[in-house]
Chain A
Amino acid sequence: MELIKKVLQGDEKSAARLISIIEEGGDEGNRAISLIFPHTGRAHIIGVTGAPGSGKSTLIGKLAVSFADKGRKVGIIAVDPTSSKDNGAFLGDRLRMRNAEKTEDIFIRSMANRGYPGGIAKATAGAIYVLEALGKEIIMVETVGAGQSEIQIYSLCNTVITLLTPDCGDEIQLMKAGLIEIGDIVAINKTDNAGAEDLLANVAAYIEQHKTKSRQTRVLAIQADKGSGIENLTDALNAHFSFLNENSHGKDLKKIKLKTFMLALLKEEIWNKSLNVLTGNERFEGIVKKLEKGEIDPYAAAQMASEMTGL
């Protein structure tokens, strides 16, 4: 593929086009992924997750400039939700990355999740590969920001930053499974707001209770919009990446994550194939009718439909 050759030579326009082809999701995109995959595996992939409005885009913009200032080549993929109502998307992350946008060599790509679950788009991993093939050494991925179920980002990234703010809820929220569990670094943003100290103390206590030899989550206080704490955070990111590379656990983790991501893709694949079998099928429509009339319950209906797929 001519396009891939150009990407490997560092051509931004070709990389942007290749990402679009991968987003389309056809055979051409899959072939492209197979061809660039051998050129990947060395970059530091950093995920940033947290609730809407917690400051993910602002933080990524600041981190990107900080890394670029140190001579690192940075790529950013910012995922926003596709509307389930109209299938459109308003992609507004990059406008909060003003300085990063002005910095030469920082590549920012917005991406709608197109209904894919887990906080990212199906093509996000493919886009990460393209940016690495383009020569990026640090690739940051911003999740949709729905919150507690953004587990997919964990399997795609080496390091995940969970971003919390003082208004994110009380101790009970922290005790629920979810965000904090997937964070290698928990950054508390907007620490000039009331409640920051309590949150910091609560998170620190939670993490102290849950630390293991192979997993030591860091907690850092930042103010992303003012740029305070950014240097500490880049140091923590670098330290975590070195830790993964020097540690046998890091290598095992990489394997586990690859498999987890493959299984997530497989799930999508099987789901789409099943839908193809069921859509328009008379027996399936019969099951739906029975469900609608209240003759069977939704669990039973799903069971019957699933048996029809032959899996």
Chain B
Amino acid sequence: MHEKIIKVLIAKPGLDGHDRGAKVVSQALKEAGMEVIYSGLHKTIDQIIHIAIQEDVDVIGLSIMTGAHIQIVEKLMKKMKEEDIFDKTVFVGGVIPTKDVSKLKELGVAGVFPGGTPLSETIEFIKNNVKKT
């Protein structure tokens, strides 16, 4: 058997309309041999959960530039618990101040990759952190 292909959802929650970063990351993960589903802009947390369930992804990557990352992640984690999909690895990218990284990790985010992080770092992280089922 060949090794399991990692499926990733790259999602844009909330109101910011900047998705260059999300697209660059999507492309890089695709080139690293992953199957990437891009949500498109302006998704609610409920929609993101809905997509993650239907697509049965291993990883959810959130791209957030609004400054509302703490609130968004809190809401996502609560919903993931409710839906019992805590087996999925969550990472966050975008505009994230260093001071918030530990808080995000406390909430259950596995990795934080602010703008400027080398793409290879994100790829390595995902390959090493996908929770095997």
Residues of A within 8 A of B (CB): 12-13, 16-17, 19-20, 24-26, 82-83, 86-92, 94-95, 98, 101-102, 107-110, 112, 114
A209 CA / B34 CA spacing, docked (Å): 46
Q: Does B124 contact A (CB under 8 A)?
A: no
| Contact status of A16 and B53, CB under 8 A, knowing A24-B4, A98-B40 | yes
Is A86 a contact partner of B32 (Cβ separation < 8 A)? yes
Q: Does B37 contact A (CB under 8 A)?
A: yes
A109 CA / B52 CA spacing, docked (Å): 10
B2 CB, min distance to chain A CBs, angstroms: 8
Residue of A nearest to B47 (CB): A101
Is A109 a contact partner of B31 (Cβ separation < 8 A)? no
- Tell me which of A17, A86, A88 has the highest count of chain B C-beta atoms within 10 A of its own C-beta: A88
- Chain B 1-35 interface mask (CB, 8 Å, partner A; 1/0): 10011010000000000000000001101111111
A95 CA / B27 CA spacing, docked (Å): 16
B92 CB, min distance to chain A CBs, angstroms: 20
Is B56 a contact partner of A19 (Cβ separation < 8 A)? yes
Contacts of B39 in A (CB 8 A): 95
Is B30 a contact partner of A17 (Cβ separation < 8 A)? no
Is A13 a contact partner of B35 (Cβ separation < 8 A)? no
Contacts of B34 in A (CB 8 A): 88
Is A90 a contact partner of B38 (Cβ separation < 8 A)? yes
A86 CA / B50 CA spacing, docked (Å): 28
Is A87 a contact partner of B33 (Cβ separation < 8 A)? yes
Residue of A nearest to B32 (CB): A88
Is B55 a contact partner of A16 (Cβ separation < 8 A)? yes
Nearest first, the 9 closest Cβ-Cβ pairs linking A and B are A95-B40, A88-B30, A16-B56, A20-B56, A87-B33, A91-B37, A89-B35, A90-B30, A88-B33
Is A83 a contact partner of B47 (Cβ separation < 8 A)? no
Contacts of B56 in A (CB 8 A): 16-17, 19-20
Tally of B interface residues using CB under 8 Å: 28
Count how many pairs of residues, one from A and one from B, have CB atoms less than 8 Å apart in the complex. 69
Sample of 17 more A-B contacts, CB < 8 Å, known A90-B27, A92-B37, A114-B5: A13-B83, A16-B53, A17-B56, A19-B56, A20-B56, A82-B35, A86-B32, A86-B33, A88-B36, A89-B36, A90-B36, A92-B38, A94-B37, A98-B40, A101-B50, A108-B54, A112-B35
A124 CB, min distance to chain B CBs, angstroms: 15
Picked from B35, B37, B47, the residue with its CB within 8 Å of the CB of A102 is B47
Is A26 a contact partner of B1 (Cβ separation < 8 A)? yes
- Tell me which of A17, A94, A98 has the highest count of chain B C-beta atoms within 10 A of its own C-beta: A94
Is B40 a contact partner of A91 (Cβ separation < 8 A)? no
- Tell me which of B5, B7, B56 has the highest count of chain A C-beta atoms within 10 A of its own C-beta: B56
Residue of B nearest to A26 (CB): B1
Is A86 a contact partner of B35 (Cβ separation < 8 A)? no
Q: Does B51 contact A (CB under 8 A)?
A: yes
Q: Does B85 contact A (CB under 8 A)?
A: yes
A83 CA / B28 CA spacing, docked (Å): 13
A57 CA / B33 CA spacing, docked (Å): 24
Contacts of B85 in A (CB 8 A): 13
Picked from B26, B47, B51, B83, the residue with its CB within 8 Å of the CB of A90 is B26
Is B31 a contact partner of A88 (Cβ separation < 8 A)? yes
A25 CA / B3 CA spacing, docked (Å): 11
Contacts of A110 in B (CB 8 A): 37, 55
B8 CB, min distance to chain A CBs, angstroms: 10
Residue of A nearest to B6 (CB): A88
Picked from B37, B40, B54, B84, the residue with its CB within 8 Å of the CB of A16 is B54
Is B54 a contact partner of A91 (Cβ separation < 8 A)? no
Is A86 a contact partner of B47 (Cβ separation < 8 A)? no
Contacts of B4 in A (CB 8 A): 24
A61 CB, min distance to chain B CBs, angstroms: 12
Contacts of A82 in B (CB 8 A): 35
